[in-house]
Structure formats: structure tokens, C-alpha cells
Amino acid sequence: MNDAYRAAFFQLHRDLPREGPGEPADVTWATERAGTPRDARICDAACGPGADIAALLTASPQGHVTALDQVDAFAAQAQARHGNDPRATVSTGDMMEITGPFDLIWCAGAVYFPGVRTALETWRKALAPGGAVAFSQVCWFTDAPSGAARDGWAEYADMTDEAGVLAQIDAAGCDVLGTRRLSDAAWEAYYTPLDARIQTLSRGASGALKDVLDEARAEAALWREHRAEFGYLLCVVRPK
């Protein structure tokens, strides 16, 4: 990402409520599946702007959320949202270096960076006994994706299907406590505010900003037209 592209990217993404699909109901479902205690030590790994911290604290009102993201601007936004709550600690950091111990590691829309297996093998040592990991992972929902869907995800060569995600969980030595697909409402929680920002910035946009807006518009359109073919699988797992 060069400087002009980076500046344009943050012009588009600054202060959006979330940076990927998700909704509070996902957190509720996952914490119930994991049996997360009301005083849990939770890590929100790759928290982005902190969209899930409130729901995590609702699930564990006497607990603590340690949230981190590798991007300063996102960590700062999460800090601005939750920094006054003594039950939350937000910082810039690498989710692959967390030490714990955590009763739950929550990771929405970011496991594809290291890969499911690597993430789970790395996080095993950061879990408290009986702890669980809940993560959403993009995958194919069809054996025969259209050319448009394949082209849209061409940069993610490791994209697999639901069975492939389950195989990676098994290879990492974890049991599956539950899986479900993220809802359309979860996707709209990301794309509706993004669409509005694209609309606002589009007038007169040129150069890197125009490129960034065109890419974001195409990404949202791809999901709207091909959402039956791909999506996020929310997985709750525990080391065997």
C-alpha cells in the first residue's frame, strides 16, 4: 500500500462502525456455544474499530476484554469508544503474539490473514484451561462459484469451502462446538455505512481515492449479486 493509497483507504474507512461483517447476535450465539463465563477474560483479536467489544462485555458483564489491532487508527477508534470502561483494555498490537490466559479469543474477519490452522495452533497456548476460540472465516458456499465470484476473491488463493474450514480446525487439533453462517444483516452492518461513505466521497474523486472507492463499490456489489456463493462461517472451537 503506497502513501496515497493508504491515505485514500483511511479517508474511506475512518470512523466506520465496523471493518467487516458481523452483528451482536453473532457474539451472543458464539459465547453461548463456548460456555463463556460471565467473568471471562476475553481477547478481541484484530478488533478493528471495536465493533464487538460492547457485545462481548454484555456476554461477560463481570469480565474483561483485551482488544487489539495492528493498525493504530483502528485501535484508537476502539479506544475512543471503550477506553473509559475499566472492563476493556485497547491497544495496538499483533494478534499472533497474544499471551493470555484467555477464556475466549474472539476474532471477527481476520483469521484469513495467518490462516485458520496457524491461528488456532498459535492461540492454543494463550487459552486458559477449557478456553475456546470463536472466529469468522470467509469461504465458498458452493462447489461451483461463478467466474465473477472467483475473480472477486482471486487475491485470496487459499479460500476454501465449509468442509475445508472444518478440516483446518481438525488439523489444528480442535473440536468444533458450533458453526453458523453470518446473516445478511451482519453483512449490511458493514456495507450500508460503507456505501454511504462511498456516496459522500464519490463526487469529484480522482487518483488514489477514486481507485479505492471503485474497489470498495465493486466489493459490495459482488456480495450483493453473489452472496449465495460465498460468505463468512462463524466457528466456535476448543482444543482437544
Ligand X SMILES: C[S@@+](CC[C@H](N)C(=O)[O-])C[C@H]1O[C@@H](n2cnc3c(N)ncnc32)[C@H](O)[C@@H]1O
Other beta carbons less than 10 A from residue 109's beta carbon: 23
The CB-of-167 to ligand X minimum distance in angstroms stands at: 23
List residues bridging with 106 in a β-sheet.
44, 134
The CB-of-80 to ligand X minimum distance in angstroms stands at: 15
Q: Which is nearer to ligand X, 95 or 132 (CB)?
A: 95
The CB-of-143 to ligand X minimum distance in angstroms stands at: 26
Closest CB to ligand X belongs to which residue?
48
Q: Which is nearer to ligand X, 99 or 206 (CB)?
A: 99
The CB-of-21 to ligand X minimum distance in angstroms stands at: 7
The CB-of-108 to ligand X minimum distance in angstroms stands at: 4
Q: Give the contacts of 7 (CB within 8 A, at least 6 positions apart).
A: 208
Q: Which is nearer to ligand X, 20 or 131 (CB)?
A: 20
Q: Which is nearer to ligand X, 72 or 225 (CB)?
A: 72
DSSP helix/strand/coil, 147: helix
Sign of CA dihedral 181, 184, 185, 188: positive
Which residues contact ligand X (rule: CB under 6 A)? 18-20, 22, 46-48, 51, 68-71, 74, 94-96, 108-110, 113
Q: Which is nearer to ligand X, 68 or 213 (CB)?
A: 68
Contact call for residues 213 and 221 (beta carbons, < 8 A)? no
Cis omega (within 30 of 0) on the bond before 101?
yes
For residues 64 and 218, what is the distance between their CA atoms, to the nearest angstrom?
38
For residues 164 and 50, what is the distance between their CA atoms, to the nearest angstrom?
29
Q: Which is nearer to ligand X, 18 or 64 (CB)?
A: 18
The CB-of-98 to ligand X minimum distance in angstroms stands at: 9
**Backbone dihedral region for residue 226 (phi beyond 0: left; psi -120 to 50: alpha; all else: beta):** alpha
